[in-house]
Amino acid sequence: MARINMLLVVLSLWGLAGVALAQIDEIQSDRAQYSQTVYMIDDEENSATSNLSDELNDKASNKASLEQALAAIKQEKAAGLAKTNLLRAKVRQFIQQRIETLNTFLMDGDLLDYVGAELISRSQIQAQAVTLVDLANPVPQSGVLTGGGIYLASPTQIKVTVLRSIRDRLIPLWQSNSIELTELGENRFMFTTSVNVEQGDIIAYQLADGASVQFDKGTGDTRYLTKPLALGEGIRLRSLKGKSERRAYALGVYGLLSQPQ
């Protein structure tokens, strides 16, 4: 009887052991499945990371290619712009040379229109720096002024200014560069750039030394200032001196003016 009881105990324990082993096998199976799932997730993460890295590398490569292409385009554009500017400069220089040649030909051949008093020796001088405003010889027609003339009594520097009457003022609209004159007697000179003028414009002459040009009294209407003119700064007629003297100076300008209809 005791053996039977012992056998029953052993069988019970054996059954429990079997159940335990079965549970252990199930746990190990679940663990293996979990490990496999973790490995799959890691593989997916690694694959996604690799794909993202490849995508970023592709974008970086594309960006580098675009930057390289843009740099090449900018370089080509700069080279093209430099060539265009050089060509424009050469064309301007060519045209300017032709204009200067034409102006010289027209001036030397007395083919230009002249606005001013006769370029002759006169009787009086004013020995101080002076700005002369020739009211007796307004521009008769619209056109282009290319140079000037003076009968020189002594070396000087001259600036020519174009004035336009606006209301009760004369407004300086254009002024030439300072031109140095040294040859005595009749002188003709060209402006660095020509200037468009309208009918009725007044010409003024700024002289470093008033004694360089002579004048007569009673035959003209050139008035004067003892200060230089500034562009855009209007002057009133009543501020000009010499109205009663009716001066005529050996000064004038040359150009191509429209012919009256």
| pLDDT greater than 60 at residue 21 | no
Of 111, 146, 179, which marks where a domain is finished?
111
Of the listed ranges 72-76, 106-110, 120-124, 226-230, the least confidently predicted one is 106-110
DSSP 167-186: TTEEEEEEEPPPEEE-S-EE
Q: What share of the chain is helix, strand, coil (3-state, %, to 5)?
A: 45, 35, 25
| pLDDT greater than 60 at residue 155 | yes
Pseudo-torsion of CA 232, 236, 240, 246, nearest 10°? 110
Domain shared by 237 and 125, yes or no: yes
User: How many domains does the chain divide into?
Assistant: 2
Domain shared by 89 and 178, yes or no: no
CA distances, 41 to each of 24, 27, 29, 35 (Å): 25, 21, 18, 10
Write down the pLDDT at residue 41: 60
Average confidence (pLDDT) over 90-96: 73
Write down the pLDDT at residue 30: 65
Domain shared by 78 and 130, yes or no: no
Residue with tokens 């490990």: 35
More reliable by pLDDT, 203 or 14: 203
- Whole-angstrom Cα distance, residue 70 to residue 76? 10
- Whole-angstrom Cα distance, residue 131 to residue 161? 10
Domain shared by 203 and 95, yes or no: no
Of 111, 135, 169, which marks where a domain is finished?
111
**Listed ranges 24-28, 79-83, 111-115; the one with the highest mean pLDDT:** 111-115
Q: Which domain holds residue 140?
A: 113-257
Q: Give the tokens for residue 103.
A: 């102006």
Write down the pLDDT at residue 118: 94
| pLDDT greater than 60 at residue 195 | yes
Domain shared by 101 and 228, yes or no: no
Other residues' Cβ atoms within 10 Å of the Cβ of residue 122: 20
Domain shared by 69 and 145, yes or no: no
Write down the pLDDT at residue 9: 45
- Whole-angstrom Cα distance, residue 201 to residue 92? 29
Query: How much of the chain exceeds pLDDT 70, in percent?
Result: 74
More reliable by pLDDT, 75 or 133: 133
- Whole-angstrom Cα distance, residue 226 to residue 126? 11
- Looking at every residue in the chain, the average pLDDT score rounds to 83
Other residues' Cβ atoms within 10 Å of the Cβ of residue 84: 10
- Whole-angstrom Cα distance, residue 135 to residue 147? 19
- Whole-angstrom Cα distance, residue 203 to residue 27? 114
CB 131 within 8 A of CB 228: yes
Of the listed ranges 78-82, 117-121, 225-229, 244-248, the least confidently predicted one is 78-82
Domain shared by 35 and 82, yes or no: yes
Per-residue pLDDT tens digits for 61-75? 788 888 888 888 888
Domain shared by 79 and 125, yes or no: no
More reliable by pLDDT, 172 or 54: 172
Of 69, 89, 111, which marks where a domain is finished?
111
Domain shared by 28 and 17, yes or no: yes
Domain shared by 135 and 250, yes or no: yes
Write down the pLDDT at residue 11: 46
More reliable by pLDDT, 48 or 57: 57
Domain shared by 172 and 227, yes or no: yes
Q: Give the tokens for residue 59.
A: 């974008």
